[in-house]
Amino acid sequence: MPDVITLGEPLVEFIDKHKKGSLKTLTEFVGPFPSGAPAIFADAVARLKVSSALIGVIGSDEFGELLLDRLKEDGVDVSHLRVAEGYTTGTAFVTYSPSGSRKFIFHLRHAAAGQLSPDDVDEEFIASAKFLHIMGSALSLSPSSREACYKALKIAVEHGVKVSLDPNVRPELLSIDEIRRICKPVLDEAYLVLPSGEEAMMLTGEKTAEEACRTLIDEGVEIVALKRGARGSIIFTRDRVIDVPAFKVEEVEPTGAGDTYDGAFIVGLVRGWPLEKVGLFANAAGAISVTRIGPINSCPYLHEVEKLMATRET
């Protein structure tokens, strides 16, 4: 049984080669790349040598086969990845503006990914894990996907499985107010929350990221890992604030870096490392992931992260 389980939307992604900043403009796309925030997370955990599983739904098509092959090859448990006949595998198209902001068009809710349901969640499977990781994108995906997440959450709480949340805000899927509402049941039970600054403020209504993270701690979250991209990360607990420096790398494509950070952070917790090492490990994994193209393809292997961390130690 896997140590870390997540659930949600496996998909394939097409990336605007020329970064036009608009999905209305004639351009060239590269892909398909296996992707989807939960799939990236599960793959990152597996490549870092902790057992992981993805609960989700793919279509009976070549995109689904691409995802299945990638996840299997990297060691992700796909025993609860269902193939839905009559539905196509989820897709996403992404472009970047000159400022680095992203625009997405998703085909998910009415694709296979959106058919995830409570029936896909097995109690014994969830109860066996050490961590259940839930993402805002899976909560936003469809009503049935949300109920699957809530069922998994209930099982995890009943069996003492630690719960982590990445808000992973997707305004393309639901409004921010709605995302705040649907994240609340998970926040109420979360041991670990891994937001960006904007997401932390969105969840709490606070005016700064740091205030928002402290509010989350005051409301019962044990650990908050604030992701700050090129500025590294800050870890908050009730007793400590740990500023973890970034690794300087040349960015090629950032999609999936936050999911990779999440996976690496939880790998460190599963291994029982001190938080300083956990944060540095997660920063290193996230940094490596932005240096190459393709969200899952860019997930680093354990030896790569250890090599980058060694540069900080020398």
Q: How far apart are CA 205 and CA 305, in angstroms?
A: 35
Contacts of 73 (CB under 8 A, 6+ apart): none
Exposure string of 2-23, with b = 16+ CB inside 10 Å and e = fewer, is bbbbbbbbbbbbbbbeeebbee
Q: Give the torsion through C-alpha atoms of 149, 257, 310, 3, to 10 deg.
A: 10
Q: How far apart are CA 280 and CA 305, in angstroms?
A: 10
- CB contact at 8 A, 212 and 236: no
61 among known catalytic residues: no
- CB contact at 8 A, 116 and 145: yes
Element (H, E) at 147: helix 143-158
Burial class (CB in 10 A: 0-12, 13-18, 19+), 44: buried
Q: What is the number of residues in the chain?
A: 314
Contacts of 81 (CB under 8 A, 6+ apart): 10, 54, 55, 56, 57, 58, 68, 71
Strands 233-236 and 241-244 come out as antiparallel
Q: Which of 74, 77, 120, 259 is catalytic?
A: 259
Sign of CA dihedral 20, 23, 116, 185: positive
Q: How many CA atoms lie within 13 A of 155 on its CB side?
A: 22
- 111 to 147, 178, 300, 309: CA distances (angstroms): 17, 22, 29, 40
By annotation, the residues acting in catalysis are 259
